[in-house]
């Protein structure tokens, strides 16, 4: 998918985007020369630990914050010069945005229907009410909704103008698993039908692995890595070998210690962290030394492992 995506037109191009905030002693560099592209129909995850610069980057991408330097181009046009034209084709949800509290869900969507000049917006709202399962609370005031219901309304707003690019900050946070799955499917359907592009931030690594074609991993304001979710996961070369040892656990521990691998033991189970390519050699050595096991499981490195490892740095 990522390779195919690279042949498609670039809808978002971020070039050496930098944001610094003046401090008393020195400036604080929140985003440091971040560059990446998003192609038509591509879903890109913007990941990173807290303070990595994700929110600052998204605010700049939406025009809510002025960059210190660097450029943002949408659909080949510079954002600062074509703001109105670009924002008509864009939409977003973010963790720091809500909607007018006293307006009902339908009133809020109606306001944004006008704001984005949506033709037949009554029909569009009806479609979104259905897709995001809003019907049961469409006449409730925004202030009376649960956190999950608010998220669904904000998502409905994000799709009201049938955008070509959507920036979603934690799109399924606070949603029940079944609703979250339905919404994920709706987003993926829209993406396939209309070649819509998405930039997503999420702390749900499973969601990122499932949805994203590529991940831009930020750390301390810089791009730490750009790759597919699989590619990033494989950057962490260690896997976990889990064994239930019938006989010779003490001898096995001596062997593992000899190699310098990390391990943990619980009753007759042992979990060994080692480079994936050394699993075969270890199992052969165990066989040669008569160390027998009755259960085996190899847990491959995941995006979450990558996230945790980078966050520790």
Nearest approach in angstroms of CB 279 to other proteins is 46
Q: Does 87 bind other proteins (CB under 8 A)?
A: yes
Nearest approach in angstroms of CB 64 to other proteins is 4
Residues 265-294 that bind other proteins (CB under 8 A): none
Distance (Å, whole) CA 311 – CA 48: 8
Nearest approach in angstroms of CB 58 to other proteins is 8
> Out of 18, 33, 35, 110, which residue is the one contacting other proteins (CB under 8 A)?
110
Q: Which is nearer to other proteins, 36 or 79 (CB)?
A: 79
Residues 170-199 that bind other proteins (CB under 8 A): none
What distances in angstroms separate CA 78 from CA 16, 29, 74, one per listed residue? 14, 23, 7
Task: List residues bridging with 12 in a β-sheet.
Answer: 38, 74
> Out of 157, 228, 243, 307, which residue is the one contacting other proteins (CB under 8 A)?
157
Binding mask 47-86 for other proteins (x = CB under 8 A): --------xx--x--xxxxx----------------xxx-
Among residues 171, 194, 196, the alpha carbon closest in space to that of 182 is found at 171
Q: Does 35 bind other proteins (CB under 8 A)?
A: no
Residues that bind other proteins (CB under 8 A): 21, 55-56, 59, 62-66, 83-85, 87-88, 90, 92, 94, 96-104, 107, 110-112, 114-117, 141-142, 157
């Amino acid at each position: 998918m990522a390779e195919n995506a690279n042949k498609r037109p670039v809808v978002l191009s971020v070039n050496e985007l930098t944001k610094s905030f003046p401090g008393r002693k020195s400036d604080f560099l929140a985003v440091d020369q971040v560059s990446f592209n998003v192609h038509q129909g591509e879903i890109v995850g913007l990941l990173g630990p807290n303070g990595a610069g994700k929110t600052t980057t998204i605010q700049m991408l939406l025009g809510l914050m002025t960059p210190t330097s660097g450029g943002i181009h949408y659909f080949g046009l510079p954002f600062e010069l074509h703001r109105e034209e670009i924002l008509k084709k864009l939409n977003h949800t973010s963790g720091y945005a809500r909607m007018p509290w006293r307006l009902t869900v339908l009133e809020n969507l109606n306001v944004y229907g006008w704001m984005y000049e949506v033709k037949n917006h009554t029909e569009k709202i009806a479609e979104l009410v259905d897709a995001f399962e809003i019907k049961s609370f469409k006449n409730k005031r925004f202030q009376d909704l649960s956190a999950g219901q608010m998220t669904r309304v904000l998502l409905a707003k994000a799709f009201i103008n049938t955008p070509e690019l959507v920036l979603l900050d934690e799109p399924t946070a606070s949603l029940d698993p079944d609703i979250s799955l339905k919404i994920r499917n709706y987003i993926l359907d829209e993406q396939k039908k209309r070649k819509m592009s998405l930039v997503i931030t999420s702390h749900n690594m499973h969601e990122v692995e499932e949805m994203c074609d590529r991940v831009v991993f930020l750390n301390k304001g810089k791009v730490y890595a750009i790759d597919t979710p699989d590619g990033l996961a494989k950057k962490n070369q260690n896997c976990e070998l889990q064994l239930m040892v019938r006989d010779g656990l003490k001898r096995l521990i001596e062997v593992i210690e000899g190699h310098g691998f990390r391990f943990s033991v619980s009753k007759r189970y042992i979990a060994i962290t080692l480079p994936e390519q050394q699993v075969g050699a270890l199992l052969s050595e165990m066989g040669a030394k008569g160390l027998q096991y009755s259960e085996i499981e190899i847990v491959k490195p995941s995006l979450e492992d990558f996230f945790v490892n980078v966050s520790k740095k």
